[in-house]
Amino acid sequence: PPPMGRLTIQGELFFDPAKANTKLQAELIVIAAGTNGPPGVLRAGTPEAPFPGVAIVQLNGNFGSPTYAMDDNRDPGNMAIVVLGELLLYGPERSPAVGSHLHLAERASA
C-alpha cells in the first residue's frame, strides 16, 4: 500500500503470507484498545504458521508531524507505534548471526 499518515487499527490488519515481502508505511500507527469491542490487532504470521517472508513496518514522519496525545498525559510523539491492543509478530527462527531486526536509516548524533 502507499505511505499513510496516521493509521488507526480497530479491527485486525495482517500481513498476507502469500506476499512474502510486504512493507507497511505510516507516520504514526495506533493499535486501538477496543474499549467497545475487540482490541485492534496488527499481525504477521501465527505461532503455528510463522510469516514466511519479510514484513517491514516503516515510520515515515518527521519532527513536524502531528503527535498522538494519550488520555493519561503520556505523549509518544510522532513516528511511533502505539500498542493499546495487540501487536503479534511471528516469523521463522533465525540465527543470531543473521543480525538485528532493527535497522536505523541513519546514525543519531551524540
**Sequential pLDDT tens for the chain (110 residues):** 778 888 899 999 999 999 978 899 998 898 988 888 889 999 999 999 999 988 889 888 777 776 776 766 777 777 888 888 999 999 887 666 555 555 556 665 55
pLDDT at 87: 94
Is residue 103 assigned to a domain? no
Can you give the length of the chain in residues? 110
Is residue 106 assigned to a domain? no
Is residue 22 assigned to a domain? yes
Domain of residue 21 covers 4-98
Helix (H/G/I), strand (E/B), else coil: 4: strand
pLDDT at 104: 56
Is residue 107 assigned to a domain? no
Closest Cα partner for 89 from 28, 33, 22? Answer: 22
Is residue 25 assigned to a domain? yes
User: Measured between alpha carbons, how far apart are the two ends of the chain, in Å?
Assistant: 35
- Give the gyration radius of the chain's Cα atoms: 15
Is residue 66 assigned to a domain? yes
With beta carbons less than 8 A apart as the criterion, state whether 29 and 4 touch. Answer: no
Cα 10 to Cα 5, 38, 69: the distances in Å are 16, 8, 17
